[in-house]
Amino acid sequence: PAGDPRARARATRRGTPSVMKRHPALVPLSRDHHHALVIAQRLRRATAETATESAQAFLSHWDAEEKLHFRIEEELLLPAYAAHGECDRPAIIRMLLDHMLIRRDAARLAGTPPLELLHDLGARLSDHVQLEEHEVFPLIEATIPETELQALGDRIREAAH
């Protein structure tokens, strides 16, 4: 539950993005999303001169955080959701498709990647974070009972270390 929807709508109309209150169980994943957005921006802004450096920054992030983040979502978060929610929701399907495409693109970054790949990966990663923060996480928060969300949060924090 992220507050009053009318207040969020008013804030959005004024051009002020609303701050989403995230359930504590999902905070570690949201924190990862912040890091991913920084990397996504770097990929989207890559030039011929910065392409290799931008690709390496993504791959370092991928190895240090993002691979584990995807595994936690796929192995803990989504099965917990599936116990209570509809697995064929478009946001859930898109989330998993994004994971597959981001993994594919990460594998293509060896050597000197074309700028188009970097820009596309940056856009895909940014869009993916927005999907999870604005659609998937609110769906999960509304679907999984509170006591199970708390237990899920414990498992997520344990898996992240």
Predicted local confidence at residue 154, as pLDDT = 96
For residue 72, pLDDT beyond 70: yes
For residue 6, pLDDT beyond 70: no
Give dist(CA 21, CA 150) in Å, integer: 15
Quick one: pLDDT band at residue 129, thresholds 50, 70, 90?
Answer: very high
pLDDT digits (tens, 9 = 90+) for 90-117: 999 999 999 999 999 999 997 778 999 9
Alpha helices, H only, 22-136: 27-44, 51-61, 67-72, 78-82, 90-107, 115-131
How large is the average pLDDT for residues 4-31?
63
pTM exceeds 0.75 = yes
* Widest Cα–Cα separation across the chain: 51
For residue 14, pLDDT beyond 50: no
Q: What percent of the chain has pLDDT over 90?
A: 83
Q: Are 103 and 58 in contact (CB under 8 A)?
A: no
